[in-house]
């Protein structure tokens, strides 16, 4: 079940940057506390350390993180480069294993679950896109159903459905190779592939990071709508606090492997942590400056 989105749609008519700014201000001021229902993903005191390589110190990538993601929730994970965001995500579907603590997915400790089976029921959008270069769009989208042994006609029907869902064109794009697509189209294929086996959970690692602002806005909006319509539980990593505020129900902030804070934008704005305050001030400052520069009700 998708959680209701507080304050209605955050993006206003026309989707203009000015509207976005107003939406951020509304979000900061009015987003009320939501109580999670049941946790679909739960991290309890999780730690992960990497060998830093020859002669280098060990790297504590994730340090005593406890975090619950409720069913139907859209959680954004924000933090600087190297703060442990990707590591946190990869721990959930056992691309890597934790050294300390416990992670449960859909109530099961992931250590007791077959990692391949786990990965096939969690959609994952990779930081770099991660499409198979030698497979067509249809081949990429259908790969997990194929690995799960779906019949060919069901895979073909699912691919068509997903091509439509992520708003690509069947006739134009279905048989192209990834290098024959634009960056935005490749990201749409990445999202479609993550959704192919009808997962309840989708993990996205900076899915829209490398895109121009308009494409990024459009894809973010489209994904948010899919999240709602399909009743997904989504964890999305982003560097961009504005994107996090506009798309997510709640935001988790990482720094140096630690979870500094988590909550709705309104809750985070109460945080006494200086780094959290700095992250939150940026979109607010941008919103105020743009609000002053742009005409109030003209075409911004």
Ligand X SMILES: Nc1ncnc2c1ncn2[C@@H]1O[C@H](COP(=O)(O)OP(=O)(O)OP(=O)(O)O)[C@@H](O)[C@H]1O
Instruction: Say if CB 283 and CB 14 are below 8 A apart.
Output: no
Place of tokens 């504005």: 242
Q: Is the dihedral of CA 102, 266, 295, 286 positive or negative?
A: negative
The answer to whether 87 contacts ligand X (rule: CB under 6 A) is: yes
Q: Phi/psi at 276 (nearest 5 deg)?
A: -60, -45
Question: Quick one: 86 or 144, whose CB is closer to ligand X?
Answer: 86
**116-154 as b/e: b if 16+ CB within 10 A:** eebbbbbbbbbeeeebeeebbbbbbbbbbbeeeebeeee
The answer to whether 59 contacts ligand X (rule: CB under 6 A) is: yes
Q: Is the dihedral of CA 50, 52, 58, 60 positive or negative?
A: negative
Binding mask 36-55 for ligand X (x = CB under 6 A): --------------x-----
Residue 136 interacts with which of Mg ion, ligand X, none, CB < 5 to 8 Å by class: none
Stretch that binds ligand X, among 2-10, 80-88, 130-138, 185-193 (CB under 6 A): 80-88
Count of positions on this chain that bind ligand X (CB under 6 A): 12
The answer to whether 83 contacts ligand X (rule: CB under 6 A) is: yes
Binding mask 66-105 for Mg ion (x = CB under 5 A): --------------------x-------------------
The answer to whether 85 contacts ligand X (rule: CB under 6 A) is: yes
Smallest gap from Cβ 58 to ligand X, in A, equals 9
250-255 and 100-105: which strand pairing? unpaired
Residue 82 interacts with which of Mg ion, ligand X, none, CB < 5 to 8 Å by class: ligand X
Binding mask 235-254 for ligand X (x = CB under 6 A): --------------------
Binding mask 98-127 for ligand X (x = CB under 6 A): -----------------------------x
Residue 84 interacts with which of Mg ion, ligand X, none, CB < 5 to 8 Å by class: ligand X
Which of 18, 23, 40, 61: binder of ligand X (CB under 6 A)? 61
Strand partners, 74: 234
Q: Is the dihedral of CA 26, 27, 29, 35 positive or negative?
A: positive
The answer to whether 86 contacts ligand X (rule: CB under 6 A) is: yes
Smallest gap from Cβ 174 to Mg ion, in A, equals 30
With a CB cutoff of 8 Å and minimum separation 6, the contacts of 192 are 141, 162, 163, 165, 166, 168
Q: Phi/psi at 67 (nearest 5 deg)?
A: -155, 135
Give CA–CA dist 218/86, Å, rounded.
Answer: 24
Place of tokens 């951020």: 24
Residue 11 interacts with which of ligand X, Mg ion, none, CB < 5 to 8 Å by class: none
Give kind and range of the element (H or E) at residue 3.
none
Binding site for Mg ion (CB under 5 A): 86
Binding site for ligand X (CB under 6 A): 50, 59, 61, 79, 81-87, 127
């Amino acid at each position: 079940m998708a959680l209701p989105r507080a304050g209605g749609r955050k993006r206003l008519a026309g989707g203009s940057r000015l509207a976005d700014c107003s939406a951020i201000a509304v979000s900061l001021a009015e987003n009320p506390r939501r109580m999670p229902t049941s946790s679909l993903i739960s991290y309890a005191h999780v730690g992960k350390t990497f060998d830093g390589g020859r002669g280098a110190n060990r790297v504590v990538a994730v340090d005593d993180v406890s975090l619950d993601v409720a069913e139907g929730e859209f959680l954004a994970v924000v933090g600087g480069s190297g703060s442990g965001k990707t590591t946190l995500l990869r721990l959930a579907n056992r691309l890597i294993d934790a050294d300390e603590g416990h992670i449960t997915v859909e109530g099961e400790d992931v250590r007791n679950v077959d990692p391949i089976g786990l990965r096939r029921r969690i959609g994952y959008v990779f930081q770099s896109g991660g499409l198979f270069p030698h497979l067509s769009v249809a081949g990429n989208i259908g790969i997990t159903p194929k690995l799960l042994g779906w019949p060919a006609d069901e895979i073909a029907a699912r691919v068509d459905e997903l091509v439509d869902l992520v708003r690509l064109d069947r006739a134009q794009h279905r048989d192209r190779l990834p290098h024959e697509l634009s960056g935005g189209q490749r990201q749409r294929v990445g999202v479609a592939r993550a959704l192919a086996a009808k997962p309840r959970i989708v993990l996205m690692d900076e899915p829209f990071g490398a895109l121009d602002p308009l494409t990024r806005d459009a894809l973010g909006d489209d994904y948010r709508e899919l999240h709602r319509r399909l009743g997904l539980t989504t964890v999305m990593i982003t560097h961009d606090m504005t994107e996090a505020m506009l798309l997510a129900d709640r935001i988790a902030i990482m720094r140096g492997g630690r979870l500094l804070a988590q909550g709705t934008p309104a809750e985070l704005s109460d945080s006494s942590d200086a780094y959290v305050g700095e992250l939150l001030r940026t979109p607010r400052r941008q919103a105020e400056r743009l609000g002053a520069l742009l005409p109030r009700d003209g075409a911004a």
